[in-house]
Amino acid sequence: MRRGMANRVFTIDAGLPFLPTLAEALYDGRLTGEPLDPTDPLALSGVTLFLPTRRAARSLRAYLLERANGKPVMMPVIRTLGDPDEDAGPIVEGGAHALDLKPPVDPMHRTLMLAPLVQSWRKRIAAEAAQRGGPAAPVPATLADAIHLAGDLGRLIDEVETEGLEWERFRDIVPEDLADWWQITLQFLTIVTEAWPAYLEEKGRSNPADHTNRMLDALAARLVAAPPPGPVIAAGSTGTNPVTRRLLASIASLPNGAVVLPGLDRQLDDDAWSLLATVSVTPALHGHPQQALATLMRALDTSPEAIRPLGETDRALHARGQLVSLAMIPAPLTDRWKDREADAAGWLVAGALDDVSLIEAASEQEEAMAIAMALRAAIEEPDHQAALITPDRALARRVSSELLRFGVVANDSGGTPLETTPPATLLLLAAECAMRPGDVLPLLALLKHPLLRLGEARAQMREMAEFFELLHLRGTTARPDVARLNDLLDEIDERRMDHKHERPDKRYEARRTSAGLPFADDVLGFKLQEAFEPLTELRNSKTVSLHDLLVAAVRVFEALGRQKSGALDVLYEGENGAMLADKLRRLVAENSQLPIQPSEWPDVLAALLAGETVKPAVGADQRVFIWGQLESRLQAVDTVILGALNEKSWPAAARADRFLSRSMQTELSLLPPERRIGLAAHDFQQAMGHPRVILSRSAKADGAPTVPSRWLQRLAVLAGEPAAETMRRRGAAYLRWGETLDRCGSEAPARRPCPVPPLDARPTGFSVTQIERLRRDPYAIYAERVLGLRALPELMRDHDARDRGTLFHAILEAFVKAEVDPFAAQAPAQLEAIGRKLFAAENLPADIHAVWWPRFAAMVPHVVALEQERRARIVRSHVEAVAEETPIGETACTLRGTADRIDETVSGNADLIDYKTGEPPSAADVRALTASQLPLEAALLKRGAFAEPGAMTPGDLLYIKLGARGEVTPKSALTQRGSAVAGASELADEAWERLVEQMRFYRDPANGYLARLLPFRPDEALGDYDHLARTLEWSAGADGEGD
């Protein structure tokens, strides 16, 4: 050990607040040997401090200012060490130009330069991969994939260079020793071992990690060559990479230097430290919380015995530290637990777990609620601070949301992914709408986006967007395209002339007219189309450069968000807007000519925005914090909650590297994935030193059972079941509070509704199809006909089976009307000609036409054959025959209907035919009159309700199924297995009798419209009014009325 170095390494135990203890040790002279005068405002000015993160630097400054109690004080020089695991880069004097270093390449520029290299490799290796039995076109399949992979490559470059490894070592790996896929991967890595270094050499640049290494090495050399006159202290770093360890060793060797380690476990014995020294042959030891510090101590040429503690913890926290240390002991030494049961019992008596609680929730939401209750209870004490530490961002968001119940806005340091912020989502939606037309959902999301302005006030734009949706984007069949919105609106209007069922509710138009909007909704379509022109003009190009797409995207983005005053404040205000503006500015400044297919632009843009996090603004509650593992380091609060303590969450699963197998990592001397488990374990051990600790986990995550964190299991086993149960009882209080908060009074389940409106409000005129609905679900008729409620039309959709059935039905109707002789040689051609005409009128998209026309063509011979088979017994056919309003007995009600087809037969009867593209009702349902359409049409036929053919006796009730593959299958509702089981006339009479009884029932003022009178059919979904009837609620339990 270098002379004097042993006396310059200290530690602050986990049970002490790190930064305040560090400051006090600095003032009282334990760190420097000479105390500082607390009354001298310049006492700290000669001190230089190195901390691991900018957050720790800010916290220390805040504590020093608080300690000064309002008096002026000159702050020490505080710099960050810049560990690769941290979120801040190094701050060193001079800069690269002073050291004659090549400037570092910007990570974004590196990604944009690596992506084409990744694409080129894909083309080169595809054939070889296929020969090896792999996929013919291995990843990346798209440019967006290549950008993501380029980002991963950049991180690999940083990892390798942070560890100080030479790229030449990759060439020493013998490909024959590797599996085929890893051999392909090794070839892929020539991008970073050969192509990328050549590019850097050509441009005179360096990699960021290599640049950082050189800067820190130069700083270490300068400190040793010319030691500052004042104290130089490095505190809080675990030395997770070689260059940081070298810098710490240099600081420890200075006459006024000192290194302060965070939470060195002084309870571990020599056997444990010796075992940790064998980590190179036992990779699992990387998962121990002290492994990083063990490596650092070797670099500092010191031992645990030589390291002096700063401060002493109280008896209970000291006992807790001993208990946690033994619980976290390396796995090969856990047999000592049995021998040390007495020690563990003594620590428990000393209060090791007196202030530790355990929340075991049933679900993630229940866990979030309990944590929110615990945080709120913690700050009930004056001046107390509380924090949730969790790596689970979903849990963090849930807790933040639950805290809002109490008016607490948590200081969540985790931030928000840039791509999920409002400005970025508007940018991404614009790219989706412009480059991928046909889907209404992105367009609707864009119209309702809170930042959409189009030069208008937000409130008016929102209202116009709602009417635009109701009048144009619902209830019709089309493919939206922002490049031709004006033409699309005209086409929709024309289509609605022939498709009455697609016309919007007249009430929408009346409401729009009375709203007093500044312009008509079709003008909104024009403004949208105009705003999107910079992007849509590029859509038909084979490729467009990244720079041109970015410029066009920004123009569209700003046109969409421009305010009435012409300003763009709403887009770029706050942290979200500022970060997006900076990101776009840097991307445009790259002037990248990377060729991109326009259809890939939405994915490419999302890939470019990924990985950025927007940190929250100042203004949240300064007593409630939510930290990730990184943000929690060196921080201290009164109550800490460790959330999501489940395996694969905390600790996260040891993920295999995307590019290097374990054997390759060993060959290269790279640290294994377990290294991050060790860092997470150290974070856990440090957090357990807070005065009050609440451990939390959920029994299920995403609906699947979870496994408690290994550290939680170890602690529970070592402490024993009685102690573990005591911790659970304390945690159960928070669960009860959360449950109580959401508990409501005892409420009986909703009863099945059966409204009884007055007679003059009840409907009296019905169609045939409404009768079947009245029979099955009277409440639906009440909601529609009495209350006047209409279901919101479905969103604009592509053509589907319903439209195909309507089109085929119309073709057959036209064919029958034309009275074509089915025995004529030209009959199939005539049917095809009718089909072509109606297909053309439908104006189908090419891909839909390509599927439907062959199906129709396959159906032609079957239709002709069926007409030939029926022609011998048909006198005349009537299609779309309309039955006028017909009185239903003496009930003052009427029935109307439209029959698809009525064939007069030579026997003097008439067959009623209904075309079906889906599965027709079964003969049993028709005979039971639960499918009553054809029997009721037959009853109307007997009563002469159809002008043509007049009153006739029904002969057959026939369904003709038009199959998806062209088959045409007639199916009589009166026969079963080829034998007649019912007569059409008798069935019609029975249907009419039941109809009269039904109408009499509803004309009785005492009778109501019961919800779901008949049970659901197996294939039946919820109806339009089932939510109003609360069907799922009352149908789940006993019906109070016994209906």
pLDDT in tens, 636-662: 999 999 999 999 999 988 776 677 777
Please check whether residue 303 is in contact with residue 268, taking contact to mean a CB–CB distance below 8 angstroms: no
**Burial of 501 from C-beta contacts in 10 A (0-12 / 13-18 / 19+):** exposed
Q: What is the pLDDT of residue 572?
A: 93
Nearest to 885 by CA among 940, 950, 933: 940
Buried b / exposed e along 44-83 (16+ C-beta atoms within 10 A): bebbbbbbbbbbbbebbeebbeeeeeeeebeebbbbbbbb
pLDDT band at 1041 (very low <50, low <70, confident <90, very high): very low
pLDDT band at 931 (very low <50, low <70, confident <90, very high): confident
Average pLDDT of the residues in 286-314: 92
Q: Give the C-alpha separation, 464 to 466, whole Å.
A: 5
Q: What is the pLDDT of residue 690?
A: 95
Q: What is the pLDDT of residue 512?
A: 74
Main-chain phi, psi angles of 595, to 5 degrees: -75, 135
pLDDT band at 508 (very low <50, low <70, confident <90, very high): confident
Query: Percentage of the chain surpassing pLDDT 90?
Result: 54
Q: Please state whether beta strands 894-905 and 909-916 pair in parallel, antiparallel, or not at all (unpaired).
A: antiparallel
Q: What is the pLDDT of residue 139?
A: 56
Q: What is the pLDDT of residue 979?
A: 65
Q: Give the C-alpha separation, 300 to 322, whole Å.
A: 25
Taking the CB of residue 97, how many other CB atoms lie within 10 A of it? 8
Main-chain phi, psi angles of 48, to 5 degrees: -115, 125
Main-chain phi, psi angles of 360, to 5 degrees: -120, 95
Average pLDDT of the residues in 985-1007: 94
Q: What is the pLDDT of residue 3?
A: 38
Q: Residue 140, preceding bond cis, omega within 30 degrees?
A: yes
Instruction: Measure Cα distances from 88 to 105, 416, 608, 631, 881 in Å.
Output: 17, 17, 21, 11, 78
- Find where tokens 């024993």 sit: 720
pLDDT digits (tens, 9 = 90+) for 831-870: 999 999 999 988 888 889 999 999 999 999 999 999 999 8
Cβ partners under 8 Å of residue 16, min gap 6: 310, 311, 313, 689
pLDDT digits (tens, 9 = 90+) for 824-842: 999 999 999 999 999 998 8
Q: What is the pLDDT of residue 430?
A: 97
Whether residue 86 has pLDDT greater than 70: no
Whether residue 895 has pLDDT greater than 60: yes
Whether residue 542 has pLDDT greater than 80: yes
pLDDT band at 726 (very low <50, low <70, confident <90, very high): very high
Q: Give the C-alpha separation, 716 to 732, whole Å.
A: 16
Helix count and strand count (H, E) for the chain: 41, 26
pLDDT digits (tens, 9 = 90+) for 917-929: 888 888 888 888 8
Helix, strand, or coil here: 205? Answer: coil
Cβ partners under 8 Å of residue 931, min gap 6: 772, 921, 922, 925
Least confident of 134-148, 189-203, 751-765: 134-148
Nearest to 868 by CA among 798, 926, 820, 916: 820
Whether residue 890 has pLDDT greater than 50: yes
Whether residue 675 has pLDDT greater than 70: yes
Whether residue 42 has pLDDT greater than 80: yes
Cβ partners under 8 Å of residue 496, min gap 6: 476, 502, 503
Q: What is the pLDDT of residue 190?
A: 80
Q: What is the pLDDT of residue 682?
A: 94
pLDDT digits (tens, 9 = 90+) for 800-819: 888 888 899 899 999 999 98
Whether residue 96 has pLDDT greater than 80: no
Q: What is the pTM of this model?
A: 0.86
- Find the DSSP H helices in 761-845: 768-776, 778-781, 801-817, 827-842
Please check whether residue 626 is in contact with residue 413, taking contact to mean a CB–CB distance below 8 angstroms: yes
Q: Residues 445, 450, 455, 456: is their CA dihedral positive or negative? A: positive
How many residues are present in the chain?
1043
Whether residue 427 has pLDDT greater than 60: yes
Q: What is the pLDDT of residue 85?
A: 36
Q: Give the C-alpha separation, 58 to 413, whole Å.
A: 13
Q: Give the C-alpha separation, 55 to 682, whole Å.
A: 18
Whether residue 2 has pLDDT greater than 60: no
Whether residue 482 has pLDDT greater than 90: yes
- Find where tokens 């950082």 sit: 212
Average pLDDT of the residues in 387-395: 94
Q: What is the pLDDT of residue 323?
A: 96
Q: What is the pLDDT of residue 31?
A: 87
Query: Percentage of the chain surpassing pLDDT 70?
Result: 91
Whether residue 5 has pLDDT greater than 50: no
Q: Give the C-alpha separation, 613 to 633, whole Å.
A: 19
Q: Is 657 left (phi over 0), alpha (psi -120 to 50) or beta?
A: beta
Helix, strand, or coil here: 61? Answer: helix
Q: What is the pLDDT of residue 137?
A: 47
Q: Give the C-alpha separation, 442 to 429, whole Å.
A: 6
Give the type of residue at 808. Answer: F
Mean pLDDT of the chain: 87
Q: What is the pLDDT of residue 553?
A: 97
pLDDT digits (tens, 9 = 90+) for 765-789: 999 999 989 999 999 999 999 999 9
Give the range with max mean pLDDT: 148-157, 418-427, 651-660: 418-427
The vertex-75 CA angle with 73 and 76, nearest 5°, equals 140
pLDDT digits (tens, 9 = 90+) for 64-84: 988 888 788 899 999 988 643
Whether residue 1 has pLDDT greater than 70: no
pLDDT band at 174 (very low <50, low <70, confident <90, very high): low
Q: What is the pLDDT of residue 127?
A: 60
Q: What is the pLDDT of residue 673?
A: 77
Q: Give the C-alpha separation, 825 to 165, whole Å.
A: 84
Two tokens at 527? 């403004």
Main-chain phi, psi angles of 279, to 5 degrees: -60, -25
Two tokens at 650? 């905390």
Q: What is the pLDDT of residue 828?
A: 93
Whether residue 163 has pLDDT greater than 50: yes
Query: What's the N-to-C CA distance of the chain in angstroms?
Result: 90
Whether residue 87 has pLDDT greater than 70: no
Q: Give the C-alpha separation, 883 to 625, whole Å.
A: 72
Average pLDDT of the residues in 558-580: 92
Main-chain phi, psi angles of 409, to 5 degrees: -100, 105
pLDDT band at 717 (very low <50, low <70, confident <90, very high): very high
